[in-house]
Amino acid sequence: MTATAMLELKQRLARLSEGERRAAAAYLLRLKHESPAGRRETSRLMKEMDAGKKTRLSEFASRRRHG
């Protein structure tokens, strides 16, 4: 995506209502989770939990944001 297209997309998102922004954010999150990298990360975290490693929700959210 070009820088101009990205800027236009960001400007359009900024003009959305709060509800529309939430819906767009949920859609983007779903796309991320459905990606091969997102599925691998979820699988890795599930394996850690199955092995007994506990993760706080805040740690999980932080790892998902940076991954």
**Per-position DSSP letters for the chain, written without gaps between them:** --HHHHHHHHHHHHTS-HHHHHHHHHHHHHHHHHSHHHHHHHHHHHHHHHTT----HHHHHHHHHH-
Instruction: Determine contact, residues 43/51, Cβ cutoff 8 Å.
Output: no
Domain limits for position 49: 3-66
pLDDT in tens, 29-41: 899 889 998 889 8
**pLDDT score at 19:** 96
Type of residue numbered 64: R
**pLDDT score at 32:** 87
pLDDT in tens, 9-60: 999 999 999 999 999 999 998 998 899 988 898 898 889 888 888 777 777 6
**pLDDT score at 67:** 55
> Domains in the chain: how many in total?
1
**pLDDT score at 26:** 94
